[in-house]
Structure 1
Amino acid sequence: MKKILMAALLSTTASAHLVQAAESACGNVSEYTWLTAALSASTGQASEVSSIAPAGELDLCEIRLNSGTIVYSRPGTQAILLGRLFSVAGTEITDKTQVSVDRANLEQLGKIQPNDYITYATAEPAKSYIYVMTDVDCTYCQKLHTEVSKLNAAGVEVRYLPFVRGGRQGSAWNTMSNIWCSTGDRKKSLDEAIAGKKLEKAECGEEILDRYQAFGRDVQLQGTPHILFADGTSQSGSSDDLIDKALKAASRGAPHAPTH
């Protein structure tokens, strides 16, 4: 394998060979059982490697875990680096770890189905949109909800997805289930729940809540509200520049267009 890498370095078509060699050197998921075994023993939770890819810097391989965490390792070693990987080109510094996270988020956004989210649409054709992972018992989620009309007025469509802090044991699990399983106006149900009103019980197997608990892990949710922008960037919690970020994200390209 080292010979292949050396040949690639000396080749006149170096860039193409480097990619092939790096992918070969990084191996596949089955070669990282040493890592998953160590992590599982250390944390007491099952750990899996979901993807392996060349990191593009320092001959490192990027290892994405099923928790969403990214670590780095060198082929042929049993050592990992946990932290941010930056590349420097002249005066430009790029956070390669964040680029990878955003790229993975875009892939996750592509899996969202229209019936999964509750839409607060703009009156005029939308300029952008955001996905908001919310928990109706979350104080900061409630505060962000009061700003939806301002976001809509600026041309930003708001799409709510469920995420219950504490999972099935969370205080909002039943309420969130009643909202997303409602056969009536889910938007009205969400408004009423945030206002503290009791909702009628709705049954739908809670499959969608389970699915978006896992989705939150995949997009590295750190707290609610967790906001995902059209270009794959994200943040946990609101901010004063939320509208500006949403509009800039749309200008960088979006995987799906707003609903109108």
Structure 2
Amino acid sequence: MLINRQKSLLLILLVCLAYLAQPLVADEGIEARLAQRLQSIDPRLNVISAEPTPVEGIYRVQINTGDLLYMHQEGEYIFAGSLLQVTERGLVDLTERAQSTQRQQVFAALPRDEQVIFPAEGETLASIAIFTDITCPYCVRLHEQVPELNAAGIEVRYLAFPRQGLNTPGEQLLTNVWCAADPVDAMNRAKAGERLADQQCANPIASQFELGRAQGVQGTPAIILPDGQLIPGFVPAARLIQELGGRTL
């Protein structure tokens, strides 16, 4: 990224500036100014949104790369990293909180028919999204525990994330699953090591890959919890069940 991460500098900023109980209302003029300043640095950067933070004059800016930046309202200063609030109970990561809220909204809006879904048994107590790749050993290991998650009332929604990128053999393996007549069965067979027949069809793999990158996914598996929290890497089913309040088996 164009800016080095400076969490310590942000912490100093937060300690020195007064915390405002009521955030400022977003200003279209400020958003346009910040967008113009970013594009003067790199014309490829576009502002998706600019929202005021609790720190006076500092805006949280979502850009088209999926990154969050913090910019002074005049566009003169830019910070990258986590915005931390100092409280009596310790530090609160306001950046992760904002990203989690945004992820909640994004994943709630995803069409179910574009995902490979393993439903919960009985009442659904929680639903998690997992960015997966057929070539990923830890994805295979996690998939072996999906029946345990389902039995505990946890629905698993798979999204495609070819970890080697688009137009790779890994993308074709995912395409074979998404294009199958029964994607659930195809996912089971592919994760068990069976090589499925190559297929082509209209599918959401490229868009899901870009979505994952925009949400901070860098590898697989990547688990999105119901509150929008992103957990990178393998997590045992027992820990996920405990975290999500699933049924004890």
Instruction: Give the TM-score category using the shorter length.
Output: 0.7 to 0.9
Report matched runs for 1:42-57 at 5 Å: 46-57=44-55
Which residue of 21, 27, 32 maps to 2:30?
27
Q: What corresponds to 1:172 in structure 2? A: 170
Q: Is the 8 A contact 1:132 1:158 kept in 2?
A: yes
- What TM-score results when the alignment is normalised by the length of structure 1? 0.78
Partner letter of residue 163 of structure 1?
A: F
Q: What corresponds to 1:203 in structure 2? A: 200
User: How many residues get paired?
Assistant: 225
* Per-residue CA distance 1:147-199 (angstroms, 9 max, x = gap): 112212222111111111132233311111111122x2111111111122121
Matched position secondary structure for 2:110: coil
Q: What corresponds to 1:63 in structure 2? A: 61
Q: What corresponds to 2:229 in structure 1? A: 233
Identical residues among aligned pairs (%): 25
Q: What corresponds to 1:3 in structure 2? A: none
Report matched runs for 1:150-169 at 5 Å: 150-169=148-167
Q: Is the 8 A contact 1:108 1:219 kept in 2?
A: no
In 2, Cα distance between the equivalents of 1:114 and 1:49? 28
Higher helix fraction (1 or 2): 1
Report matched runs for 1:1-260 at 5 Å: 19-20=24-25, 23-24=26-27, 27-29=30-32, 31-39=34-42, 46-182=44-180, 184-206=181-203, 208-240=204-236, 241-247=239-245
Structure 2 stretches of 5 or more lacking a match? 1-19
- What TM-score results when the alignment is normalised by the length of structure 2? 0.82
* Per-residue CA distance 1:231-257 (angstroms, 9 max, x = gap): 111111122422222338xxxxxxxxx
**RMSD across aligned positions (CA):** 2.2
Offset of residue 224 of structure 1: 0.6
Q: Is the 8 A contact 2:34 2:74 kept in 1?
A: no
In 2, Cα distance between the equivalents of 1:60 and 1:54? 6
Structure 1 stretches of 5 or more lacking a match? 1-13, 41-45, 249-260
- CA 1:26–1:145 in 2, change beyond 3 Å: closer, same or farther? farther
In 2, Cα distance between the equivalents of 1:180 and 1:153? 24
In 2, Cα distance between the equivalents of 1:29 and 1:141? 42
Post-superposition, which runs of at least 4 consecutive aligned residues in structure 1 deviate over 6 A? none
